[in-house]
Amino acid sequence: MNLSVTWTAAHSRRLERQSLTAPAKGSAPADLALTAGAMLGAHAQVLSAAELSLCLRHESADRADVRAALWDAEALTKTYGPRGTVHLLPSAELPLWTGALSALPTGPSPHPEGVRLDAEQTEQVVAAVADALDGAFLTVDELTEAVVERTGPWAGELKMPAFQGMWPRWRTVTHLAAHRGALCFGPNRGRKVTYTRPPVAAPLPGDEALAELVRRYLRAYGPATPQSFAKWLAAPPGWAVRLFAAQGERIERVVFDGAEAWVAAGDTEFPPEPARGLRLLPYFDAFGIASHPRERLFPGRARERALAGGQAGNYPVLLVDDAVAGVWHLRRSGRRAVVTVESIGRRLTGSRLRDLEAQVRRVGEVVEARAELVVGEVTVGAHA
């Protein structure tokens, strides 16, 4: 008979494994890298959100510690991760990530003819990017010049629509270059982004890397289905079903909340007591994005208020016990930060309010400001 796992038990284990039950207490660079690994990357399209994601899982780290782990200790790498979005990943795990992400199935290019690159051009660009960035930190304009010099004028043609202008054609494969280990972000040069080549060994073989990524995902967010894994990666669901089937005895079937799901083989221990407490999670926090079934994490009115078109991450959320129970917003002004928290369907009084005040103080410590709590409506819309 398959093990039966409740939503509450799964949620409690996910919190525990991501240091959301008890924050980490060790050396900031090392622990921040371990935390990023446990949550399968901190979404860093907005770097301040990634800093909060990591530090709220640590007892005392602040945003300066994250930047030191990223740019000084090089324990973290800023690059394109799951779903082609910018993440902070543990540098030591880049062979796993580049091996897995470069092995994902690629569908038809979304770009029209004349903008998209053919297979040969793509290989030329990736090789040019890797060569140009080896030991260098280049802005996008400098990298464009270097790529064109190594390939040809076609790579620099301004034909890719982006924001209010046009980008050169080579940038249609920026994510692919990162997934192959040819590119990652360097420290900003003033207001300009720079790129460099990650100083890490070659990617793991694709099959090996994908098998390990399945195991890591199931340890972090299991029990889970191939469909939730596919959604997290922005990969085809049918491919994920076949990938799970290929794992054989490396994964184990369970009954999760009344439906079939999977855990890593032998990973069947769950906390005996439900998780209690109140937590603030920032924009794009991995926990809210990767935890499924989404309707259990965002029940009732929380689905309408805290999701944007069904998409998680566009609002910072208030997590109470085993479900989202509100949204919040941080407004910074000099050394002062105002944290507005909107509760959904319940009043925050007594111990709950004290817990919330403690969380707000911790947010202030992370962003190096004096934080003040305001309980009321959040009028700021969803993040794009």
Each residue's pLDDT tens digit, 175-228: 999 999 999 999 999 999 999 999 877 899 999 999 999 999 999 999 999 999
CA 154/CA 151 separation, integer angstroms: 8
pLDDT beyond 80 at 310: yes
User: What does residue 17 show for φ and ψ, rounded to 5 degrees?
Assistant: -75, -15
pLDDT band at 29 (very low <50, low <70, confident <90, very high): confident
Choose the weakest-confidence range: 25-29, 190-194, 224-228, 336-340: 25-29
As a whole number of angstroms, the distance between CA 342 and CA 344 comes to 7
pLDDT in the model for residue 107: 74
Domains of the chain: 8-196 (no CATH), 205-264 (1.10.10), 278-375 (no CATH)
- pLDDT at position 326 over 70: yes
Separation CA 293–CA 295 (nearest Å): 5
Q: Is the pLDDT of residue 282 over 70?
A: yes
The two tokens of residue 41 are: 């990357």
Model pLDDT, residue 347 = 81
Candidates 116, 18, 58, 52; CA nearest to 329 is: 52
Which residue has better confidence, 111 or 98? 98
Using pLDDT thresholds of 50, 70 and 90, give the confidence band for residue 26: confident
Confidence band (pLDDT; 50, 70, 90) for 163? confident
Annotate 11-41 with b (16+ C-beta within 10 A) or e (fewer): bbbbbeebbbbebbeeebbebbbbbbbbbbb
Q: Please give the pLDDT value at position 308.
A: 87
Q: What is the pLDDT of residue 376?
A: 94
pLDDT on residue 1: 54
Residues of the chain with pLDDT > 90, as a percent, come to: 87
Note the pLDDT of residue 202: 83
**pLDDT reading at 112 higher than 70:** yes
**DSSP alpha helix (H) spans, 20-92:** 28-38, 47-55, 63-67
pTM for the structure as a whole? 0.94
Give yes or no for residue 128 having a pLDDT over 60: yes
Average per-residue pLDDT in the chain? 94
> Average pLDDT, stretch 273-298?
94
Decide if 281 contacts 327 (C-beta within 8 A).
no
At 129 the pLDDT is: 98
Structure tokens given for 117: 């690159």
* Whole-angstrom distance, CA of residue 316 vs CA of residue 236: 28
CB crowding 216-241: b at 16 or more within 10 Å, else e: bbbbbbbbbbbebbbbbbebeeeebe
Tens of pLDDT, residue by residue over 59-75, are 999 999 999 999 999 99
What pLDDT was estimated at residue 384?
60
> What is the torsional sign of CA 16, 17, 18, 24?
positive
Residue 111's pLDDT band (cuts 50, 70, 90) = confident
Q: Which residue matches tokens 């799964």?
A: 10
Q: Is 27's pLDDT higher than 90?
A: no
